[in-house]
Structure 1
Amino acid sequence: MNEPHLQMLDINGIRMQVAMQGSGPLVLLCHGFPELWYSWRHQLAALAAAGYRAVAPDMRGYGGTDAPAELDAYTALHLVGDMVELVNSLGEQQAVIIGHDWGALVAWSAALLRPDLFRAVVGMSVPFSPRGHVEFLSALASRGISNFYIQYFQTPGVAEAELERDVESSLRRIYFSGSGDGPDRPIFGLLQPGQGFLEGMIEPETLPAWLSHEDIAYYIREFTRSGFRGGLNWYRNITRSWTLLAPWHGCIIRQPSMFIAGQRDDVLKFPSSPRQIEAFAQTLPGLRGCHILEDAGHWIQQERATEVNELLLGFLKEL
């Protein structure tokens, strides 16, 4: 099987680096934070082998893709717009869209805003929830919470300085501590007073089996070059995106859908996540499966590549 082919495309006012493999019906793969197209290396190969055109971009602000200087250039509408134009640029009429972490929010939003273009959707790690009456950061503040990691990410420059002090150590800590191999305490949660995002995370003596030295070297090389500002700016547009999505308030996704997450994923421990999953019968009436993989952590498509690939291929085959 051939390796993914990297290509630069002009997409929605930015230059976007895109990894492509295979031919057939289009499947888009959207990564999250702090990741790259490379997070889908196992899925690109499996989808291509099964007769699909698998395409994984470095999302806006990441890797080889442009990171606009303007803080407000990272809203949900920009991110969905990127995916819409990517489909058009590839000469396709429709795509199945798959996303993990922040990429799941892009995938859910793309399916919601453009059901004509995105015929099916898979979200990993972050459950779908229709736009609610209260914006996320306001909801935290109303509960007296001021030390959630997403709040720490809001001030430009603060998290960048911490994460970029030692990129290799930062990524090793985040990937290990957020995985099913890491300690049984949340890394995506509340921070101790006066401490940063990386405090309490473990620097592993050896990498977990799902992450080779070659793999981590690719991430380190890319984030050393790009820094973390682009990815962090997604968090800084949570309120702006909620405001812009007002026309879709309460809307549900009717296309065929699937959800996959690791049982040890910190996102599933957010107070809202169990309620969101329980509501899938109403919010995702086209749901074809909700799969929580035992003992797996946040980086589900890398930690459990074989299982995730089987689920994705089963889902795609039924469409």
Structure 2
Amino acid sequence: MTSITHRFVQAGDVRLHIAEAGTGPLVLLLHGFPEMWYSWRHQIATLAEAGFRAVAVDQRGYGQSDHPVSVEKYSIMHLVGDVIQLLDALDEKEGVVVGHDWGAEVAWHTALMRPDLVRGVVGLSLPYRPRGSQSQLTEMVEAFGDGVYTNYFQRPGPADADLGADPHKTFRLMLRGSRKSSQSKTHARSPAPIVPAGRTYLDIYPEPEKLPTWLTETDIETYAAEFSAGFSGALNWYRNMDRNWELTAFLQNSVIRCPALYLVGEQDRCLNFPGVRDAIERMDELVAGRSEALVLPDVGHWTQQEAPAQVSAAIIEFARSVAAVVSPH
């Protein structure tokens, strides 16, 4: 069985923790919120056994990687910069970049800003959405109201305390709450997570009677232990949504130049977010290279954890199509 090794690398001004396995063309795995390298636990060894060098990173503000204090240190420029610096630290000239949720945003922007480094890009949950006439935060508030979770996350303090009070409870509720059937009736009817006035984010998730088959108590304990220092670093990504829009004016009307694959669960609530369905329909237009979009039946938001075999197979097939790799089997 392929073993996963762990180490730290210096990527510019931050030290990043990585989990890696295998040799061959690089596949870099970028997690979303609120996760870490562990969300790719099923893919790392599988990719390695398929002939790739799989590297999953705790991005800045997460897990064992550095957690800069300043909110401004979590802009999209810093996040893409980390990927660029990480490739250099790994002594890699290019790779296939795969991202889920917020990690998909970083993957798409890395492909936009440094196409010379990206052989192919895979986005899970969130497709490439070109820069609009206003920030994604503004679009979310206009679509769903001031209570939308992205707005609730903006002010330092309340969300940090809410999520950090009991990390084990936070992950038990959030990871369990991927599907409509596992959410409160009010929350299930909403097209996006909405925090009622005077309530907290976790209030919208009911206590689960049991965990889904893809999630174990050990998984929850692993996440909780890594977030014992709190959620502020992770939440700071959201607190740069307006800033990111301002910083990326030069990307207006830009298209992805490398081959691209998009994967989404049919129950993923991100499909309701502004511009997402339009971006999926326009993928051939927004990606100058070869593109494909796959919808995974009966899968929610935690894509690579809920459907590990399907996701791994799709990534491997795509990566083989863009990288020089020979199957070891």
TM-score, scaled to structure 1? 0.95
Letter in 1 for 2:306: E
1:305 alignment partner in structure 2: 308
Query: For the residues of structure 2 that align with 1:175 and 1:253, how far apart are their CA atoms?
Result: 31
Query: For the residues of structure 1 that align with 2:16 and 2:172, how far apart are their CA atoms?
Result: 26
Letter in 1 for 2:163: L
CA contact (8 A) 1:188 1:267 kept: yes
CA contact (8 A) 2:265 2:299 kept: yes
Query: For the residues of structure 1 that align with 2:18 and 2:302, how far apart are their CA atoms?
Result: 20
Deviation per CA, 1:56-107: give whole Å up to 9, x if none. 1101000000000111000000000000010111111101100000000000
CA contact (8 A) 1:178 1:186 kept: no
CA gap 1:298/1:185 in 2 versus in 1, 3 angstroms: farther
Deviation per CA, 1:298-317: give whole Å up to 9, x if none. 00100000011111111112
Give the SS at the match of 1:116. Answer: helix
1:247 alignment partner in structure 2: 250
Q: Which moved more, 1:201-210 or 1:149-158?
A: 201-210
1:237 alignment partner in structure 2: 240
CA gap 1:271/1:247 in 2 versus in 1, 3 angstroms: closer
Q: CA deviation at 1:185?
A: 4.5
Q: CA deviation at 1:143?
A: 6.0
After superposition, residues 82-121 of structure 1 pair within 5 angstroms as 82-121=82-121
Query: For the residues of structure 1 that align with 2:79 and 2:281, how far apart are their CA atoms?
Result: 27
CA contact (8 A) 1:26 1:92 kept: yes
Is residue 2:204 matched to residue 1:200? yes
1:227 alignment partner in structure 2: 230
In structure 1, stretches of 5+ residues that fail to align are: none
Residue 282 of structure 1, aligned match among 263, 281, 285:
285
After superposition, residues 55-94 of structure 1 pair within 5 angstroms as 55-94=55-94
Query: For the residues of structure 2 that align with 1:181 and 1:5, how far apart are their CA atoms?
Result: 37
Give the SS at the match of 1:198. Answer: helix
Query: For the residues of structure 1 that align with 2:36 and 2:142, how far apart are their CA atoms?
Result: 34
After superposition, residues 1-319 of structure 1 pair within 5 angstroms as 1-140=1-140, 145-179=145-179, 182-183=182-183, 184-185=188-189, 188-224=192-228, 226-319=229-322
Q: CA deviation at 1:180?
A: 7.0
CA contact (8 A) 2:39 2:304 kept: yes
Q: Which moved more, 1:252-261 or 1:279-288?
A: 279-288
Query: For the residues of structure 1 that align with 2:274 and 2:310, how far apart are their CA atoms?
Result: 27
Query: For the residues of structure 1 that align with 2:144 and 2:217, how far apart are their CA atoms?
Result: 42
Query: For the residues of structure 2 that align with 1:29 and 1:181, how far apart are their CA atoms?
Result: 29
CA contact (8 A) 2:141 2:148 kept: no
CA contact (8 A) 2:139 2:274 kept: no
Query: For the residues of structure 1 that align with 2:263 and 2:117, how far apart are their CA atoms?
Result: 22
CA gap 1:187/1:175 in 2 versus in 1, 3 angstroms: farther
Letter in 1 for 2:50: A
Percent identical across equivalent pairs?
Answer: 42
Query: For the residues of structure 2 that align with 1:8 and 1:203, how far apart are their CA atoms?
Result: 36
- Give the count of matched residue pairs: 318
Deviation per CA, 1:156-188: give whole Å up to 9, x if none. 011011111221111100001124763445584
Deviation beyond 4 Å, 4+ runs, structure 1: 140-144, 184-188
Deviation per CA, 1:267-310: give whole Å up to 9, x if none. 01224211111111110232432111111100010000001111
2:326 alignment partner in structure 1: none
CA contact (8 A) 1:180 1:298 kept: no
Deviation per CA, 1:125-153: give whole Å up to 9, x if none. 01111111211233345568211100000
CA gap 1:307/1:186 in 2 versus in 1, 3 angstroms: farther
Query: For the residues of structure 2 that align with 1:62 and 1:87, how far apart are their CA atoms?
Result: 19
CA contact (8 A) 1:112 1:253 kept: yes
Letter in 2 for 1:281: D
Letter in 2 for 1:232: L
CA contact (8 A) 1:177 1:187 kept: no
Letter in 1 for 2:212: P
Q: CA deviation at 1:245?
A: 0.9
